[in-house]
Amino acid sequence: MDDPLGLAVFSFGGSASFFTGGIGGNYSVAGAVDTKSGKVCIVITTCARGGVGESMGVKVKGGVSDGSLCEGNSVKGGLFAEAGPVGGTVGTDGDSIRTSVKFGLGGGASSGAQICLSNTKCFN
């Protein structure tokens, strides 16, 4: 596979999040394709969040990254924002930058920082 934009990983999946009292969390499951290696993987991510606002939601998400998929566990940090039916993240694991957008059912608004643990399982 060749990616003319220079991005390596494209993902699509679903997520559920909540945020209240300055703390919250996010859980997501996504399928991902690494255009540089051809790997097809499932990525399960759990995040702890801190910041401001009150929100909750269940959304579909899509993402891109300039990194590559590595099977196993990884820790990633970043920023998040949720507002009603939309949300998004931007972050890094030190080697790559990734971003995602989310659309679905949700209410309230929140933003802040997050630390995430991802488990990646590849099938080829």
The domains found in the chain, sorted by start residue, are 9-122 (2.40.128)
> What is the per-residue pLDDT across 57-96, written as a single tens digit (0 to 9) for each?
999 999 998 888 889 999 989 999 999 999 999 987 777 7
Average pLDDT over residues 46-52: 97
What would the two tokens of residue 103 be? 């659309």
Q: Looking at residue 3, what is its pLDDT? A: 47
> What is the per-residue pLDDT across 97-110, written as a single tens digit (0 to 9) for each?
889 999 999 999 99
* Mean per-residue pLDDT over the chain, rounded: 90
Q: Taking a C-beta distance cutoff of 8 angstroms, is the pair 11, 32 a contact?
A: yes
Residue 36's region, left for phi above 0, alpha for psi from -120 to 50, else beta, is: alpha
